[in-house]
Structure 1
Amino acid sequence: MAILVLFSTVSFTVEKHFCGDVLIDMAIFNAAEKCSSYIVDVQIINHCCKDTVDVIKGQDELNVKSLTDLDFDQQLFLTAFTYSYLNLFEGLPELVVPHKNYFPPNLIADIQVLNQVFII
């Protein structure tokens, strides 16, 4: 949506340079090159060259609505929806870990391996 608004409000110009019916150069952000570097005959340059400039205007005015432009029912719905959505998520309570300070004893020998008892 933001890209659509950006491209609809941008305006720019397109410059085209023709020698006769042949398009010599087209530029969008800078000036178009003239045909003097392509054609050396001075008579042709003076009589048949023409420049065209196309201006593409973007949208100048955007309709920005505020909360006061809405009807009372729309304002009521919007505030109720916002309030219920923000209160939908509650924080988790702090969990109590009863064995937080318990450290298991050091294993001297692995009893399952000594007795050769394995769960299959």
Structure 2
Amino acid sequence: MAFFSRAEACKDKVQKENNPFKKCTSLQEKDCCDNQTILKEANDSFKKSTTVLEADQLVFLKTFIYSYINLFEGLDKNIVPFEAYRPPLLSKDIHTLYEIYLI
């Protein structure tokens, strides 16, 4: 038996084609061999189908793809989140206002 290549013929076994009383059902009898070819033809009558996406499906699909791609995008290792932060300007000196001094 072969599916993707040509099957080997029954050359070394005795072929019994004209014998109406074949007893190939038993396991001991291995001399009955038939060359059979089963051909299945494909069905080529396919219809082309078009898929029309509605607006909400299209929005969901775009957001899903965008979030999935950004899920695996790596970040820089040394991110400083407060690098561009400027502290507020002080109008009064807190140390002298509350009289706090280091001794």
How would you bin the TM-score normalised by the shorter chain? 0.3 to 0.5
Write 1 or 2 for the structure with the bigger share of strand.
1
- Structure having the higher helix fraction is 1
Normalising by structure 1, report the TM-score.
Answer: 0.31
* Larger RCO of the pair (alpha carbons < 8 Å, separation 6+): 1
Q: Normalization by structure 2: what TM-score?
A: 0.34
